[in-house]
Structure formats: structure tokens, C-alpha cells
A and B are shown apart, each in its own frame.
Chain A
Amino acid sequence: MDATSPALPSVAPKRGRNLHRFANPGRFLRLSGRVLPWLAICGAVFTLAGLAWGLFVAPPDWQQGDAVRIMYVHVPAAWLASMGYAALAVCAVISIVWRHPLADLAALEIGPVGAVFTALCLATGSLWGKPMWGAWWVWDARLTSVLVLFFLYLGQIALIRAFDNPERGYRAAAILALVGAVNLPIIKFSVDWWNTLHQPDTIHLFGRTTMSASMLDPLLVSALGFTLVFAALVLARLRSAVMERRIRSLLSARARQAEVSA
């Protein structure tokens, strides 16, 4: 195909146009303003319901006793730690391929939330490990790969804010997010590839789930609630970032105007 062929440009910009509709700050703030309260309310309701169900109604495990109730906090935090990083990688692709400004801001705001959920996963894992394994921490593959994920989040948070020119920070952090995404399958399959003290996965999307429904149901409700809360937190932070950017542009326009009139 030669450089003047119309076939290539007619496809790519169309997709870019659809994506860039949401780059309009006014449209984004209007749409997200409608969604945010519902996300926050549903997230709070499902999280509280799932945790109360797991804490007071679900049965204790025959081997682990009541310590299994830590699962209703630990497992959703672990899922969201990985899903948050996967979202960072998607933002990185959108930023690098389509240079979408909202993807950069989303990466800026997902990082801290994902890091907090990863820290929560590690802390609750330690609190679960101590009574079950007799140790707060072991250097097994699952725990170590999640610790690496936490450091990747910290690196992304530092890198995206490290440059005077924000565009360079966005680009560097996007590359780190893409490279770090290699760690996600390692986390997922670490319990299959290596002998670990951490138990193997009990919930499978396409296979048989080896967990009683009386424990699985509150876990899924709790996980749904945590996911909605995570989304609400990121959306609220993203709205703030969009408004702060608009404030900066209004202030600089005002300063330029004052300079001209002086």
C-alpha cells in the first residue's frame, strides 16, 4: 500500500475519534457525575453486605476455623491489586497508541488506589498467615510476586510525577506499566508453577470451584462491592484531576491576559 492510499487513514482516525469524544472535559464531567453516586452507593452496600455475611453468617472452615473470615477482605483486595495494574497497562496502551489525555490522567489516579489495595492484600495476608502458618511472612512465589507488584505500583507513582514536563512522566510510567504487566500472569500462576505455602486457587472461571457455596456467595458479593468502591474511588479522583487541570488552564489564561493588558 502506498503512502497516498486512503484505506489506512479512514480506519484509525475513526476509532480515535470515538475514543476522544470522552476527552472533552465538560462531557466527561457530566457523564461521570451521573455515574459516580450510583457507583459509590452500590459499592458501599455490596461491600458492607458481603463483609457482614462473611463475618456473621458464613460458616467457619473445618481446618482454619474462623481465621478463614479474613478471606472476605484479603481475596477482593488481591483481585483488585491485579485488576488495578491490568487497568494501568490498558491505560498505557491507550496513551501510547491513541495519545488519549484521559488515559494519562487515569493512570495517574489508578496508581495510588491500586498501591493501597496491594498493601491491604499484603497486610491481611500476613494477618492470615500468622495463625495458619505460624509466620507473618514467607518468601514463597505468590507472596514475593505480589510484593514485586507493590513495588511496581510505587515505581509507577514516583515515575509519573518525577518530570517537570508531565508528558514525559506519563510516557515513562506507561512504559513501566506495560513492562510490569509481565508480573500479572506470574502472580496468577505462581501457585501452579512453584511449590508454595500459599494455597492454590480455589475459584476457577472455567473449571470446578472447590469452595462451598456458603463461603463463595459472600466472597463474590464482597468482591463485587470492593470492585465498585475501587471504580468509584478512581472515578472521583479522575474527576478531581480533570477539574484541577481546567483550573490550571483558566489561571494561566488569566495570567496571560493580565500580562498582555499590563
Chain B
Amino acid sequence: MTNLAYIAASYGLAAIAVLGLAGDAWRRHRLARRRLAVLEATSGRRRRG
């Protein structure tokens, strides 16, 4: 395959960009879901109490 270094660099950059965005989105989503679940559970207890 000719120009393999350029092709590999392009696909590598795409992988880094997409996986970076996906990892960041997943971490943020998981953290927000956990924090919201804890807050809603404690708010619910307080309201019921």
C-alpha cells in the first residue's frame, strides 16, 4: 500500500478524536446520572419525611 504513513495517521487521528469525544461524553453522562440519582433519592426521602 502506497502512502501508508499518511493513511495510518489519518485513521489514527480519527480514532483518537472520536474515541476521545465518546470517552468524555460517557464519563460525564455516568457522573451526572449518578449524582442526579443520589440527589433525587435524598430529596424524595426529605419530602416524604
Do chains A and B interact in one complex?
yes
Q: B29 near A: Cβ within 8 Å?
A: yes
Closest to A76 in B: B14
Q: What distance in Å separates the Cβ of A77 from its nearest Cβ neighbour in chain B?
A: 7
Q: Determine the distance from Cα of A55 to Cα of B7 in the docked complex, in whole angstroms.
A: 9
Contacts of B6 in A (CB 8 A): 67, 70, 127-128, 130-131
Contact in complex: B21, A116 (CB < 8 Å): yes
Contacts of A70 in B (CB 8 A): 6-7, 10
Q: What distance in Å separates the Cβ of A37 from its nearest Cβ neighbour in chain B?
A: 12
Give 1 or 0 for each of A49-92: 1 = CB within 8 Å of chain B CB.
00100010000100001110110011001000000000000000
A95-103, A141-149, A232-240 - the one binding chain B: A232-240
Whether A65 contacts B2 in the complex (CB less than 8 A), given A70-B10, A73-B10, A73-B14, comes out as: yes
Q: Determine the distance from Cα of A119 to Cα of B26 in the docked complex, in whole angstroms.
A: 21
Give 1 or 0 for each of B20-31: 1 = CB within 8 Å of chain A CB.
111001101101
* Residues of B contacting A: mostly: helix
Give 1 or 0 for each of B24-43: 1 = CB within 8 Å of chain A CB.
01101101110110011001
Whether A120 contacts B14 in the complex (CB less than 8 A), given A66-B2, A250-B40, comes out as: yes
What count of chain B residues pass the 8 Å CB interface test? 28
Contact in complex: B10, A239 (CB < 8 Å): no
Contact in complex: B3, A51 (CB < 8 Å): no
Contact in complex: B29, A236 (CB < 8 Å): yes
* Residues of A contacting B: mostly: helix
Q: A229 near B: Cβ within 8 Å?
A: yes
Contact in complex: B25, A240 (CB < 8 Å): yes
Contacts of A236 in B (CB 8 A): 25-26, 28-29
Contact in complex: A66, B1 (CB < 8 Å): yes
Contacts of A233 in B (CB 8 A): 21-22, 25
Q: Determine the distance from Cα of A239 to Cα of B26 in the docked complex, in whole angstroms.
A: 11
Q: Determine the distance from Cα of A130 to Cα of B5 in the docked complex, in whole angstroms.
A: 11
Q: A113 near B: Cβ within 8 Å?
A: yes
Contact in complex: A117, B17 (CB < 8 Å): yes
B interface residues with partner A (beta carbon < 8 Å): 1-4, 6-7, 9-11, 13-14, 17-18, 20-22, 25-26, 28-29, 31-33, 35-36, 39-40, 43
| 23 A-B residue pairings within 8 Å (CB atoms) | A51-B11, A55-B11, A67-B2, A67-B7, A70-B10, A73-B11, A73-B14, A116-B21, A117-B17, A120-B14, A120-B17, A123-B10, A123-B13, A124-B13, A124-B14, A127-B10, A127-B13, A131-B3, A236-B25, A236-B26, A236-B29, A247-B35, A250-B43
Give 7 closest A-B pairs by Cβ, nearest first: A243-B32, A236-B25, A67-B3, A124-B10, A65-B2, A73-B14, A240-B28
Known: A51-B14, A66-B7. 16 other contacts (CB 8 A): A51-B11, A66-B4, A73-B10, A77-B14, A116-B21, A117-B17, A124-B13, A124-B14, A130-B6, A233-B21, A233-B25, A240-B29, A243-B35, A247-B32, A247-B35, A247-B39
